């Protein structure tokens, strides 16, 4: 900076320096990230991650419980959500029955299907059992806002969900 003010270095050289600096910083962040992810979470295992199947560790923070995925099967998995003291999800997604997590902004979002709790209508009917194979069905959201389907994963049956 000092040299630029004195006009001894070209703007190009200055930008070159910035680029080098940014590259160094990004390199340091990349180098430190795997170490942080590899640190195993503490706390008892209370089940498997609904997204990747890794162990879920029950943890306590300021008197509240939450679980965190150990990410042993999928190092990219960042599943974590609030639970009771027993490790059961505090809130469930009305669409897929997946656990809801609370964002920093205080909204709730499903860790499985990504639906916001505010987008999940009250009084959605139970998806019920599959007419084809009798397995429990799940509600899925249509790409059209406000429309829902029910789907059976085992046999692939999909039908529109009749809203009350």
Nearer to Zn ion, 9 or 78 (CB): 78
Binding footprint of Zn ion, residue count (CB under 5 A):
22
**Which of 67, 80, 109, 110 forms a contact with Zn ion (CB under 5 A)?**
110
Nearest CA among 87, 88, 92, 48 for reference residue 70: 48
Nearer to Zn ion, 20 or 128 (CB): 128
The answer to whether 120 contacts Zn ion (rule: CB under 5 A) is no
The answer to whether 113 contacts Zn ion (rule: CB under 5 A) is yes
The answer to whether 111 contacts Zn ion (rule: CB under 5 A) is no
**Which of 9, 17, 45, 51 forms a contact with Zn ion (CB under 5 A)?**
51
Q: HEC profile for the chain?
A: CHHHHCCCCCHHHHHHHHHHHHHHHHHHHHHHHHHHHHCCCCCCEEEECCCCCCEEEEEEECCEEEEEECCCCCCCCCCEEEECCCCCECCECCCCCCEEEECCCCCEEECCCCCEHHHCCCCCCCCCECCCCCCECEEEECCCCCCEEEECCCCCCEEECCCC
What residues form DSSP beta bridges with 48?
A: 55
The answer to whether 95 contacts Zn ion (rule: CB under 5 A) is yes
The answer to whether 90 contacts Zn ion (rule: CB under 5 A) is no
**Which of 58, 67, 69, 109 forms a contact with Zn ion (CB under 5 A)?**
69
Q: Point out which residues bind Zn ion (CB under 5 A).
A: 49, 51-52, 54, 69, 77, 79, 93, 95-96, 98, 110, 112-113, 115, 130, 132-133, 135, 152, 155, 157
């Amino acid at each position: 900076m000092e040299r630029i003010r004195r006009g001894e270095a070209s703007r190009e050289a200055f930008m070159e320096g910035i680029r080098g600096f940014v590259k160094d910083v990004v390199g340091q962040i990349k180098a430190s990230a795997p170490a942080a992810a590899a640190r195993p979470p503490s706390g008892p295992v209370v089940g498997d991650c609904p997204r990747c199947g890794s162990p879920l560790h029950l943890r306590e923070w300021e008197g509240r419980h939450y679980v965190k995925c150990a990410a042993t099967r999928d190092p990219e998995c960042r599943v974590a959500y609030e639970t009771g003291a027993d490790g059961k999800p505090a809130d469930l997604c009305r669409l897929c029955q997946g656990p809801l997590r609370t964002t920093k902004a205080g909204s709730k979002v499903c860790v499985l299907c990504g639906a916001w709790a505010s987008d999940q209508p009250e009084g959605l009917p139970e998806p019920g059992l599959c007419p084809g194979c009798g397995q429990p069905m799940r509600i899925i959201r249509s790409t059209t806002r406000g429309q829902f389907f029910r789907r059976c994963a085992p046999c692939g049956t999909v039908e529109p969900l009749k809203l009350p």
